[in-house]
Structure formats: structure tokens, C-alpha cells
Chain A
Amino acid sequence: MKILFSLLLLFRLLFAGDATIEVIKQVEALPSIAVEDASISYNNTFKLQFFKALVADLNVISLFNVDRYHRSIHYNATDVMVENKNMNYVLRYKMYEDDSGALNVDMKIIQEDTSVFLKSYKVSRQNIYMFVSHAMAYDVNKFMGEPSVEWMKRKVIFSRIVGPKKSEIVISDYSLSYQHVIVKGGFNLFPKWANKAQNAFYYTSLDGLIPTLKHVDIKTLKISSVISSDGMMICSDVSRDAKTLLLTMAKNGQPDIYTYNVASKKYKRETTYGGIDVNAQFMDKNRIIFISSRLGYPNVFSKRLDTKEVEQMVYYGKSNSACSSNGEYIVYKARETSNAFERNTFNLHLISMETDFIRRLTATGVNEFPRFSADGDAILFIKNYKNQSSIGIIRLNHNKNYLFPLKYGKVQSMDW
């Protein structure tokens, strides 16, 4: 028994922090939290709307068993509500509208009848309340001493197919509750943030004679054409310093990966294989990961930009057609059924380049377009299942997936 225990302990020590190992947390082990609403402005519909958004965000940070009952109380009441007496934490908030019409929110976290955390928020308009909710959850996560969930406050940009050759480009929050259509009309795909600040983006326009990469400055709404290519033109990735783009272009009908210098407007062909090379992402400044058909089926490879050295990265599966990497981890999309006549299943898998361990991250439907958050804490992906298109979030270290369904259309691609 002692040997078994020692082995288990050794195993746990060896693989502590390995995201390819599934973390099974007992639901009972999580602390409980209740949310108390002390709002003095706004109608009940909006109060409930905000409450639900906050409860959803608190669930996504995966630290609590969140009580779903909406209960009202006075903000300065000394005791928590009777029903919440046994909760480990109580989050109490008060929404109020000021003279300028701005939405103000005061929040406090109560633990054992003592306020242990206080913060206030303000947004100019009521309809962007979800950003306050995300900011509150972000701060609760920080207060609990957990690794940052910075991605929660980032904006997602995605293209939505609304009909054959018709699409919209939409900017949203991570949960899709806020949605703003920024490019409408025409056939525009593959939006990609142009920089870390998310104040500009690239997209592929398929309206003209030749596929063209466009750049939009969100503040000035200035659109400029960047580069065109016959056949295919996609911005697959933008370097961290925003100075270099990884493009898939198809000069002479041959899809290959190119680097593009934003300042000099010069491009360089990085792959020369006669089949398909696409979907390049920076692993670091001098190394990319990409999808290639050089084995006769799509699979994940890496290449150094300063040499011609190409390395196969994934040795499992016979059709791995999309990928994203962060540090030692690669997430890739694998076709799990290969049938021309029936529904197919595509799942996301996480592999560690150090241990070679693989973890399957999804179970049903078509799961694709995986994108790591900058800090590697979460993976955003597109899920299409039973005619429903959603954006999903996988919390790697918490072994939890969350889906945010789209009201209409189908998500084609996205970035965050």
C-alpha cells in the first residue's frame, strides 16, 4: 500500500502542472459563493440579465460552486442573507445609474461576515454591462490568488457566414453577449487582430477579382489594401510586435506560407512543398508551426524561419488540419471519422512537445479553429454541432469547457 502511495505521489510530482494530464476536481472540493443583488436603479429584467452574466462569468473562472439563486438585499446590510449563511463567500453588488446615465457598480466580497474585497466599476452605457461583469470576475479571480484570466477582458473578432458568399465580421466579448458587426455586406473572412492593443485588424476580402488582405483601423475606420494573391490570401498570424505577418498565399495556384514585413511591405516565401502548406503560427520569433500535406494527409509541422529545417510535430491521427501552439503545448484538430457520406467528428487534442502525452479536449461534433490565449491558460475554439454554431472556451487547468452559442449564422473563423 505504501509503495502504491509512493508511486502515486511520484507520478503526481512528475507531472504536476502538465496540462495534458486531466485535472479532475471534485465538485464538492470547490468553495461555494452566492451572489447578492443590492441594485437601486434599473428594472427587474436588466437586474436579472446582469445577475446571469455575472454568475456565468464566475462559473467560467472555475474556482467556485456558484449558487444560482437571485436574491436582493441592501448593500450596507451587515449580515449576509439567511439563505447564504453557509456559503464560503458572498459577492454583493449594487448597480446604480448616475446623472450622466452611466452604469456604476459597487462590489464587495464577504467572507465570514467581513468585507474582504471592495471595488467599483463604471461604464458609460448600460448595454455594455457584460464588460463590467467580466471585469468583476477577473478581479475575483485575482483576489483568490489564481493565475490571471486576462483573456476574459479581451475582445474576440470573428467572421460569420450568413449565406452563400455572404458574411459579416463581428467584434464581441469572449461570451458573445456583446456583438458589434463592424464589416457588413460582401464576402469577408479570416479576421485577425493586427496588434496586441486590438485597435486594428486584418481580414480577407473575396469580393474583388483577386483575394485581397485588408487592414482596418478601428478608430478611424480607414480601410487599406495590404496585399493580394490569386487563389488564396489569408493572414494566419501576426507577430507579438505586430511587425511581421504570416500569410498563406497561392501564387501560381500553389498554397504556401509567406512572411510579410509590415513596414517594408516585402514578403518572403517560407515553404516550397508542392502540396498544401497553410495555417502558420509563430511559436517564437524564428520558428513557426503549420499544417502541411507533405505526408499525403494534413498534419502538424514546424519550421525554423532562418533555416530550411522542417520537423513533424504530431505523430497521431491521419488528418490533423488546424493547430495552435503555446510554449511546449500544441492543440490540433483531428478528424476522427473519415466518411464522405455521414456526419464526421472532429476533436481537439492537446499534445506536450516535452512528454508526448496527448489529451483529447472535446468529445462531439465539429470542433475546430483552436486558438490559445496569450498566457496559455485557455483555448478558444469553434464548435458546430447539430446545426448550432458556438464559440467554446477550454480551461485547461480546470478541465472545463464552456460553450457560447451564436444566435444566427455560422462562425467561419475567429481571433482573440
Chain B
Amino acid sequence: MKNIIISSVVVALLVFSGCSSKDVAVDTDKSEPTNTSEVQEVKAVETETVAAEDSTVNSGTQTLSHMSMSDIESELSTVYFDFDKFNITSNAQVKITKAAELGKTGAASYNVKLEGNCDEWGSDEYNFALGLKRANAVKKALVAEGIEGSRISMVSYGESNPVCEDKTKDCYAKNRRVDFKLLP
């Protein structure tokens, strides 16, 4: 066994380069090791690939605070939904009508983002789509009340943005909701 063949396989990585954009930035922390992970296999014909990543991308948002806007926003009541449903209940319709009134008066200069959310039962795409359908139902109701569709954008956060994390029916019900967020 004297003829030892060393075949090496290199994986990994990484050069750190700084880059900056509006919402993401590459971590330029020099304390992170920049070495290359290398796996070598002795007495092996084929090559091994074992690797590790040593660098990190930072991603964050810039938050803007507009007090007057948040004051108006607090007037917009969250709309809640039944389990596995995205239809607007009569109770929700009252809130939407009030929101539409505000959209034509105090909040007339703002656009609105509707954030659809679900309870914790599932992180799959279907749950995200359910959150979106809820946001879309609210959008349609707002448009029916006379708000221009072009002022409304939507996003679904699925189960990833809970306001309550207890394992109770009240808590699940609080998470099945659409929130109004005003945009400048």
C-alpha cells in the first residue's frame, strides 16, 4: 500500500467582496475565515466533494417612519377570516367600508399594501396562496367601495408573520388576517 494516490477535491469558497444595494449587503466581516475547505481522499479513485460555505449575505430593510402615516394606519382595522377561508364576512365588510372611507379622505394621498396572513398550519405554498387570496378579497372589496386598484399592492406572509404564537383557538383566529400598511 505504498502507492498512495492523493486525489483532492476542492469545494468551497469564498472571497469576500463588498457590495451594497438598497436592501441587501454582502457581509464584509474580515473575522470570517476565508480559507478554502478541502477534502482529500487517499487511495481513492473517485473524488470526494465535501464542502462548507464560509461567507454570509446580509439582507435587511431600511425602515422609514412617518408618524402621521402610522397614526392613520392605526385607524385601519385588521380584517379576520374563518379557518381555511378567504371570503369576506359581514363583520369584515364593515371594517373594509370604513377603511375605504379613510382611503378617500385622510389617507387619500397614500397607497396601501395589504398583507395576507395565515394560522400556523403549514408553511407550504398553498398556505401562502391562501394568505394572498385573503389579501385579494380585501382588495376587491376596497375597489368595489371606490378605491382605485392601482393604489393597492399585496403580499402574502403565509404563517411566517404571526401576531400571536400561543397554541389556542383564539390565537389561531388572530393570525388568519389581512393587515393594512400605508405606503407613501
Contact = CB atoms under 8 A, between A and B. Distances in A.
Contacts of A369: 123-124
B74 interface: no
Contact of B126 (A182, A186, A209, A278): A278
B160 A167 contact: yes
Interface residues of A, number: 85
Interface in A186-202: 186-190
B169 A340 contact: yes
Interface residues of B, number: 73
Interface string B133-176: 10110010000000000000111111011110001010011000
B56 interface: yes
10 contacts: A128-B52, A161-B160, A189-B158, A216-B57, A218-B14, A221-B14, A231-B135, A231-B155, A253-B133, A276-B130
Interface of A: 102, 106, 118-125, 128, 131-132, 134-135, 153, 155, 161, 164-165, 167, 171, 178, 180-190, 205-211, 214, 216, 218-223, 230-232, 234, 236, 248, 250, 253-255, 276, 278-279, 291, 293, 298, 319, 321-322, 333, 335, 338, 340-344, 346, 366, 368-369, 382, 410-413
B54 A219 contact: no
A68 B113 CA distance: 56
Interface string B1-34: 1001000100001111101011110100000010
Mostly helix, strand, loop or mixed at chain B's interface? loop
Contacts of B50: 123, 128, 131-132, 134-135, 153
B108 to A, nearest CB: 20
B58 interface: yes
Q: Which among A187, A232, A279 has the greatest number of chain B C-beta atoms within 10 A?
A: A232
Contacts of A411: 123
A119 B123 contact: no
A121 B132 contact: no
B47 to A, nearest CB: 11
Interface of B: 1, 4, 8, 13-17, 19, 21-24, 26, 33, 35-44, 48-61, 82-84, 113, 121-130, 132-133, 135-136, 139, 153-158, 160-163, 167, 169, 172-173, 183
Contacts of B23: 186, 205, 207-208
Given A128-B50, A218-B13, A255-B132, A223 B123 contact: no
Contact of A234 (B36, B51, B125): B125
Given A125-B37, A231-B154, A340 B125 contact: no
Contact of B133 (A218, A222, A255): A255
Contact of B52 (A131, A321, A366, A410): A131
Contacts of A231: 132, 135-136, 154-156
Contacts of A413: 123-124
B59 A123 contact: no
B35 A124 contact: yes
A107 B167 CA distance: 49
A183 B25 CA distance: 10
Contacts of A211: 155
Contacts of A250: 129, 132, 136, 154, 156
